[in-house]
Amino acid sequence: MDIKQAEFSLSAPMVSMCPKDTKPEYAFIGRSNVGKSSLINMLTNNRKLAKTSATPGKTLLINHFIINKEWYLVDLPGYGYAKRSKKEVDKLDQMIRGYILQREQLVNVFVLVDIRLEPQKIDLEFIEWLGVSSVPFAIVFTKADKLTPNKCRQAMEAYKKKLSETWEEMPPMFLTSAEKKEGRDDVLGYIEEINEGLKS
């Protein structure tokens, strides 16, 4: 897929305030500091599209970016950021879950996972919730440049093994590095494939 145009559309504090059209939406979510903004900027070839920050947990709204005037890339707030009050965490949680469960235009959720870490309880619980809620999703491993290819392979296998304890079928998985633009064609190709399927 060739991305000719990527523009910020709007930020919404709740699902009812998201764009009113019917274009397909692909949401990106992960634990705070997983490298979500960097990945979004790498995919869209626009270093300034999603604001990257040294402070984790900066995304507090549902951010829509329109791509090639055909589909939306949706940047959701990260979860599991410890330096927030319980009230704030609950509010964000409600907003994220409300969007994921109620948004009819949402066709896939990309769950971002740091390849360097062993499977984290918070990610596994979120993935489990998507499965129970029948929400289509894929797992995107980030920061692949921080490990050797062999270590990346081992980490992915360990993740599959962990998931196989509760999942019969594995979700699609992508290995990416925003730094090296690795995995870009795979993720965009997957989106393109779904978009084509929606047209037929």
DSSP-assigned states of every residue in 110-156: EEEEETTSPPPHHHHHHHHHHHHTT--EEEEEE-GGGS-HHHHHHHH
* pLDDT in the model for residue 60: 82
pLDDT one-digit tens code per residue, 12-60: 999 999 999 999 999 999 998 899 999 999 999 998 888 765 555 556 8
* pLDDT in the model for residue 6: 95
Structural domains of the chain ordered from first start = 6-199 (3.40.50.300)
* pLDDT in the model for residue 97: 94
Per-residue pLDDT, averaged over 134-146, amounts to 98
Cα–Cα distance for residue pair 106/183, rounded to 1 Å: 22
* pLDDT in the model for residue 88: 82
Between 123 and 80, the more confident residue is 123
Q: How many CB atoms lie within 10 A of CB 141?
A: 24
**β partners of residue 175:** 141
The model's confidence at residue 89, banded by pLDDT at 50, 70 and 90, is: confident
Q: Which amino acid is at 30?
A: G
End-to-end CA distance of the chain: 18
Given strand 71-75, what is the order of strands in its sheet? Answer: 6-12, 62-67, 71-75, 25-30, 106-114, 137-142, 173-175
pLDDT one-digit tens code per residue, 100-117: 999 999 999 999 999 999
The mean predicted confidence, pLDDT, of the chain is 92
Is residue 6 helix, strand or coil? strand
Per-residue pLDDT, averaged over 155-167, amounts to 96
* pLDDT in the model for residue 54: 55
**β partners of residue 111:** 29, 139
* pLDDT in the model for residue 84: 74
Cα–Cα distance for residue pair 21/18, rounded to 1 Å: 9
pTM for this structure?
0.95
